[in-house]
Amino acid sequence: MGVGETLVTLGENGDVMPSLAESWSDESPRSVTFHLRNAKFHDGKPLTAQAAATSLTHAWNATNRPKALGKANLTFETTDDHTLKITSEKDDPILIQRFADPGTMILSPDAFTGDANKDREKNGGKDAEAKESSSDAAPDLVKHGTGPFSLDKKASSTQADLKANDDYWGGKPKLNTVTVKFMTDASARTAAFRSGEVQLATAIPTSQVSEIEKSAGEIKSTPLPRAVLLHLNTKKGVFTDPGLRAAAREAINSKAITDSVFEGKADAATDHLFNPAEEWARTPDDASKSAVPATQP
């Protein structure tokens, strides 16, 4: 919604781009140091390395930890107000990219305290006490992000009203307000977009995109970093052999799938999104050397 931001983002080709971190350096395969820009949370407090460490620690400790953070233990330490060092217990070729995931957005420390929810305390303070004792309590987004738009009051189940953040580090937004509507039904989203009730919609069913393009005027679309994956067990069974993994890869006609199932609205994957050099499978020539004989099932 433009309320929260991450340390980095990913460009169109999967390249790491600056966000709340202006720059970074990876001293080893298991550590990265982020240098934070001068920015403010919507409550007026400055973005600091300690605030970023607190936010990421809450994300790491949550029972429903963002999958992008992986399973290897992470530690967060500050060396000054704008320098944050993150260390993994294991070598990690995509350590930097993990902090582009929306689940790692940086929020003000007050987003995680009972003080942020005083106006919603009930039952003699018992609710606030329960929130403080649970690592799974949802953070309070009201005035606690850094993005171009601020959430000034709690969103309802159907709508959130955002206001432009005049002090945004990237410059004042061109819109003064934004109304976000939560529509879980895909058909309802499509109908709202076609009628002009909303001007921007996500997750429009592929089968309806062509009809919208025919009936609407000018339409702009943005590709999203989503992938449809086939997971192979590389720990046991036939796919422990990288040659056979390569054979399986070559046997799948990705373009035919994108042209038919996705009606040309997706791109066939040609490489590893985060680490193009990763040797997940050998070349087809190598695969032929390990191919299963035709007489075997």
User: Do 97 and 26 fall into the same domain?
Assistant: yes
User: Do 69 and 104 fall into the same domain?
Assistant: yes
Q: How many domains does the chain have?
A: 3
User: Do 255 and 174 fall into the same domain?
Assistant: no
Q: Which of 48, 47, 51, 22 is nearest to 34 (CA)?
A: 22
Please give the share of the chain, as a percent, with pLDDT higher than 90: 47
Query: Which residue range is the domain that position 244 belongs to?
Result: 223-283
User: Do 61 and 103 fall into the same domain?
Assistant: yes
Residue 37 in this model has a pLDDT that exceeds 80: yes
What CA–CA distance (Å, rounded) separates 194 from 216? Answer: 7
User: Do 208 and 238 fall into the same domain?
Assistant: no
Q: Which of 33, 44, 42 is nearest to 75 (CA)?
A: 33
User: Do 195 and 278 fall into the same domain?
Assistant: no
Lowest mean pLDDT among 75-79, 162-166, 261-265: 261-265
- Residue 120: inside a domain: no
User: Do 276 and 258 fall into the same domain?
Assistant: yes
Q: Which residues have CB under 8 Å from 190's CB, separation 6+?
A: 201, 204, 205, 208, 212
- Residue 125: inside a domain: no
User: Do 77 and 27 fall into the same domain?
Assistant: yes
What CA–CA distance (Å, rounded) separates 182 from 279? Answer: 41
Lowest mean pLDDT among 24-28, 165-169, 212-216: 212-216
* pLDDT band, very low/low/confident/very high, at 132 (cuts 50, 70, 90): very low
Choice between 262 and 49, residue whose per-residue pLDDT is larger: 49
User: Do 107 and 17 fall into the same domain?
Assistant: yes
Q: Which residues have CB under 8 Å from 101's CB, separation 6+?
A: 6, 66, 67, 68, 69
User: Do 228 and 245 fall into the same domain?
Assistant: yes
For 204-247, write each residue's pLDDT tens digit: 888 888 778 777 667 777 777 677 888 888 899 999 998 888 88
Taking residues 23-50, report their average pLDDT: 95
Last residue of a domain, one of 161, 192, 214: 214
Last residue of a domain, one of 170, 189, 214: 214
Taking residues 254-266, report their average pLDDT: 86
Residue 74 in this model has a pLDDT that exceeds 90: yes
Side by side, the strands of the sheet bearing 149-151 are 149-151, 159-164, 177-181
Phi then psi for residue 272, to 5 deg, are: -80, 130
Lowest mean pLDDT among 14-23, 117-126, 160-169, 233-242: 117-126
Choice between 58 and 202, residue whose per-residue pLDDT is larger: 58
- Residue 138: inside a domain: no
pLDDT for residue 280: 54
Chain position carrying tokens 């080709």: 13
- Residue 139: inside a domain: no
Residue 79 in this model has a pLDDT that exceeds 70: yes
Choice between 82 and 279, residue whose per-residue pLDDT is larger: 82
Q: Which of 179, 186, 241 is nearest to 1 (CA)?
A: 179
* pLDDT band, very low/low/confident/very high, at 194 (cuts 50, 70, 90): confident
Last residue of a domain, one of 193, 214, 235: 214
pLDDT for residue 249: 81
pLDDT for residue 285: 54
- Residue 141: inside a domain: no
- Residue 208: inside a domain: yes
Considering the chain, what is the average pLDDT of its residues?
A: 83
User: Do 101 and 30 fall into the same domain?
Assistant: yes
pLDDT for residue 171: 95
User: Do 174 and 267 fall into the same domain?
Assistant: no
* pLDDT band, very low/low/confident/very high, at 263 (cuts 50, 70, 90): confident
CATH number, residue 155: 3.40.190.10
